[in-house]
Amino acid sequence: MPSCNEMKKGEVYACGECGLELKVVKECKDAAENAETCACCGEEDICCDITCCGEPLVIKK
Ligand SMILES: [Zn+2]
């Protein structure tokens, strides 16, 4: 399951339930001055998981 720090520019993530597809156009590490400060990744347990329909999105090859 993707967290924002693992999602790379150009990758497409899909929801297996509804068919939604999301493409990464900008990585958080490129936007933040310091990726270490990414607000959702201060603690691993609560690092952001990108979900849809209650399921984690999966990378589309
Ligand atoms: Zn969905």
Per DSSP, the residues of 2-59 read: --GGG--TT-EEE-TTT--EEE-SS-HHHHSS-GGG-GGGSSGGG----EETTEE-EE
Tens-binned pLDDT, residue by residue, of the chain (61 aa): 567 778 889 999 999 999 999 999 988 777 766 656 566 655 555 567 788 999 889 999 8
Q: What's the gap in Å between 33 CA and the centre of ligand 1?
A: 31
The pLDDT value recorded for residue 50 is 82
Distance of CA 53 to the CA centre of its chain: 15
Q: What's the gap in Å between 41 CA and the centre of ligand 1?
A: 23
Give me the number of domains the chain comprises.
1
Domain, as residue range, for 15: 4-60
- The answer to pTM > 0.85 is no
Farthest CA pair distance, the chain: 35
The pLDDT value recorded for residue 37 is 56
Q: What's the gap in Å between 49 CA and the centre of ligand 1?
A: 14
Q: What's the gap in Å between 12 CA and the centre of ligand 1?
A: 14
Q: What's the gap in Å between 16 CA and the centre of ligand 1?
A: 7
Give the side-chain half-sphere CA count within 13 A for 46: 5
